[in-house]
Amino acid sequence: MKKGIFIAFGELFLKSPGVQKIFKKRLINNISFFLKKENFEFKIYPFRERIFLEIPQEKKVKKIIKNIFGISWFAKSLFFEKSNLKGVSDFIAKNYKDWIEKNETYAIRLRKGSEIKEPRNKIIEEIAKRIKRKVDLESPKREVFVEVRKEGWFLYFKKEKGAGGLPVSSSGKVLALISGGIDSPVAAYFMAKRGAENVWLHFHSFPLVSQRSIEKVKKLAQIFLKFQPKLKIFLFPFSKIQMKIKTQSPPKYRVLLYRRAMIKIAENLAQKENCYALVTGESLGQVSSQTLPNLEIIEKAVSIPILRPLIGFDKEGIIKMAKEIGTYEISILPQEDCCTLFTPKHATAKGNLKKIEEIEKKLSLKKIIKESQKEIEILDY
> Per-residue pLDDT averaged across 233-256, rounded?
92
> Per-residue pLDDT averaged across 239-260, rounded?
92
Angle at which helices 254-272 and 239-248 cross, to 10°: 150
More confident position, 11 or 120: 120
Q: Which of 220, 254, 256, 257 is nearest to 235 (CA)?
A: 220
13-22, 235-244, 352-361: range with lowest mean pLDDT: 13-22
pLDDT at res. 200: 98
Is the pLDDT at 57 greater than 90? The verdict is: no
Q: Which residues pair with 235 in a beta bridge?
A: 202, 377
DSSP E strand stretches across the chain: 2-9, 43-46, 50-54, 71-81, 105-112, 134-135, 142-149, 152-156, 160-164, 173-177, 197-204, 232-237, 277-279, 306-307, 377-380
Q: What are phi and psi of 285, to 5 degrees?
A: 80, 5
Q: Which of 13, 68, 11, 15 is nearest to 44 (CA)?
A: 68
Alpha-carbon distance of 298 to 85, in angstroms, equals 64
State pLDDT tens for residues 290-308: 999 999 999 999 999 999 9
Q: What percent of the chain has pLDDT over 70?
A: 97
> Per-residue pLDDT averaged across 347-369, rounded?
91
> Per-residue pLDDT averaged across 48-69, rounded?
89
Alpha-carbon distance of 133 to 144, in angstroms, equals 12
pLDDT at res. 21: 86
More confident position, 348 or 123: 123
pLDDT at res. 304: 96
pLDDT at res. 340: 56
> Per-residue pLDDT averaged across 180-208, rounded?
94
More confident position, 251 or 224: 224
> Per-residue pLDDT averaged across 158-174, rounded?
95
Alpha-carbon distance of 156 to 147, in angstroms, equals 9
> Per-residue pLDDT averaged across 315-331, rounded?
96
State pLDDT tens for residues 359-381: 999 998 999 999 999 999 999 99
Residues 6+ apart with CB under 8 A from 74: 5, 6, 7, 8, 62, 65, 66, 159, 160, 162
268 burial level (CB within 10 Å; 0-12, 13-18, 19+): middle
Q: What is the largest CA-CA distance in the chain?
A: 85
> Per-residue pLDDT averaged across 3-12, rounded?
88
Q: How sure is the predictor about 344, in pLDDT bands with cuts at 50, 70 and 90?
A: low
pLDDT at res. 82: 85
Is the pLDDT at 349 greater than 90? The verdict is: no
The SS3 assignment for 14 reads helix
pTM (2 d.p.): 0.91
Is the pLDDT at 95 greater than 70? The verdict is: yes
Q: How sure is the predictor about 337, in pLDDT bands with cuts at 50, 70 and 90?
A: low
Q: How sure is the predictor about 114, in pLDDT bands with cuts at 50, 70 and 90?
A: confident
State pLDDT tens for residues 19-44: 888 899 999 999 999 999 999 999 99
Q: How sure is the predictor about 338, in pLDDT bands with cuts at 50, 70 and 90?
A: low
Q: How sure is the predictor about 336, in pLDDT bands with cuts at 50, 70 and 90?
A: low
The SS3 assignment for 81 reads strand
pLDDT at res. 343: 66
Alpha-carbon distance of 381 to 372, in angstroms, equals 23
pLDDT at res. 345: 67
Question: Which domains are delineated in the chain?
Answer: 2-164 (3.30.2130.30), 173-380 (3.40.50.620)
